[in-house]
Amino acid sequence: MTFLAELAINGALVGLMYALVASGIVLVYKSSGVVNLAQGGFVMAGAYLVWAYIARLGLGLIPGILAAAASMGALGWLTERLALRRMIGQPVIMILMLTFGLEVVLRGAVPGALGADTKPMPIPISQAPVWLGDILINRTYILGGAVAVVMVALLAVFFRTRAGIAMRAVSDDHLAAWAVGIPVERTVALSWAVSGAVAAVTGVLWGAVQGVDWSLSLLLIKALSVAVLGGLDSLSGVVLAGLIVGVFESVISGYVDPFVGGGTREVVAAVVIFLTVLIRPYGLFGREVIERV
């Protein structure tokens, strides 16, 4: 029972951190209908930048993270401005492949420029676990889960500001938003920038968990499964779906791994995507698109 509780609690915290990665995907999807398959690469680039600013340039922890968030925001904005905006009206596969191409470029360019070996994320978190009764909890996960909840809450607040309301309007209908004077392009670009900044913060957390190297970009599958299960355009769905995916993944791999020789963790997310698409494509809270011919 303790084992199950331990798996579930750690899993839930990890799931919240997945939700943070997924929130970047949801933000962009909400405003522009593009699923950013480079989000894993963005997280990796963010983690590398934080590491570079702190360890190489000697910035403090908070200034380093802020500088990385600003740089990643700029990268997200540039991506929209230079690449995605030219693809408006192209078939879905073209846009998906474009973001995949970006992912490949990031995966090559960032480790190529900053070094491919795994680096420790220079943030002061003790490695000693927290004991909750008999249950052992990873300290980094607690911080990660807390930051994830705060970030998602901040995003929810952001959607109540002027820019956020404009973004919601854009996600409803581009043409109608245009008609009432909302700068649609600028709003979409803003959502990319925010998503880039979120990726930088996510990169700090995941970099602290598993070290900074290219494998951070593999978070994409987990993030996709969370985003799809929650509904691609639902920010609150992301939190619940993150909890579900995290708990399932942790509990299933905890009990099944000894029998099949490991690696179950990777496949749970994929199964979640597949089942969600088959049973309820629009996810838990996503908007069901009714197609009229």
Partner 1 sequence: MFYRECGVRHTTYAADRALAVIPFERALLVLLIVLAAAAPWIVTDLFLVSYLTPWLIWTAAVLGLNLLMGWAGQIHLGYGAVMAVGAYTAVHVARAGAPFVVAVAAGGLVAAVIGSLFGLPALRVRGLYLAMSTLALQVIVDWILVQVPAISGGAQATLLVPRPHIFGIPLVTDQARYWTAAVFTLLVALFVANVRRTDVGRALIALREKDYAAAVIGINVFYYKALAFFVSSFIGGMSGAALAFLYYRAVTPEQFGLNVSIMAVAMVIVGGLGSIIGSFFGAGFILLAPIWIEHGLRELAAALSVHISPSTLAHLPLVIYGGLITGFLLLEPLGLAKLYDNVRNYLRVWPFGYTKK
Instruction: Tell me whether residue 271 or residue 284 sits nearer to partner 1 (CB atom).
Output: 271
Q: Minimum CB separation from partner 1 for residue 141, in Å?
A: 24
Q: Is 187 exposed, middle or buried (0-12, 13-18, 19+ CB in 10 A)?
A: buried
8 A C-beta contact, residue 268 and residue 245: yes
The interface with partner 1 within residues 206-225 (CB under 8 A) comprises 221, 224-225
Number of Cβ atoms within 10 Å of the Cβ of 150:
12
Q: Which helix (H) or strand (E) holds 181?
A: none
Q: Is 111 a residue that touches partner 1 (CB under 8 A)?
A: yes
Q: Is 1 a residue that touches partner 1 (CB under 8 A)?
A: no
Instruction: Tell me whether residue 68 or residue 98 sits nearer to partner 1 (CB atom).
Output: 98
Q: Minimum CB separation from partner 1 for residue 267, in Å?
A: 4
74, 92, 154, 165: which one binds partner 1 (CB under 8 A): 92
8 A C-beta contact, residue 137 and residue 13: yes
Residue ranges of alpha helices (H) inside the chain are: 2-32, 39-51, 61-78, 92-114, 139-158, 162-172, 174-179, 184-210, 219-230, 235-260, 264-279
Residue that has been written with the tokens 């355009």 in this structure: 233
Helix, strand or coil for residue 281? coil
Q: Minimum CB separation from partner 1 for residue 146, in Å?
A: 29
8 A C-beta contact, residue 33 and residue 289: no
The interface with partner 1 within residues 258-287 (CB under 8 A) comprises 260-261, 263, 266-267, 269-274, 277-278, 281
Q: Position 159: which residue type?
A: F
d(CA 230, CA 152): 14
44, 228, 235, 238: which one binds partner 1 (CB under 8 A): 228
5, 57, 109, 132: which one binds partner 1 (CB under 8 A): 109
Instruction: Tell me whether residue 138 or residue 276 sits nearer to partner 1 (CB atom).
Output: 276
21, 27, 52, 98: which one binds partner 1 (CB under 8 A): 98
| CA end-to-end span of the chain | 53
Q: Minimum CB separation from partner 1 for residue 39, in Å?
A: 13
Q: Minimum CB separation from partner 1 for residue 139, in Å?
A: 30
Q: Is 200 a residue that touches partner 1 (CB under 8 A)?
A: no
Q: What are phi and psi of 130, to 5 degrees?
A: -95, 135
113, 128, 179, 180: which one binds partner 1 (CB under 8 A): 113
The residues that touch partner 1, with contacts defined as CB under 8 A, are 35, 83, 86-87, 90, 92-94, 96-98, 100-109, 111-113, 115-116, 221, 224-225, 228, 260-261, 263, 266-267, 269-274, 277-278, 281, 293
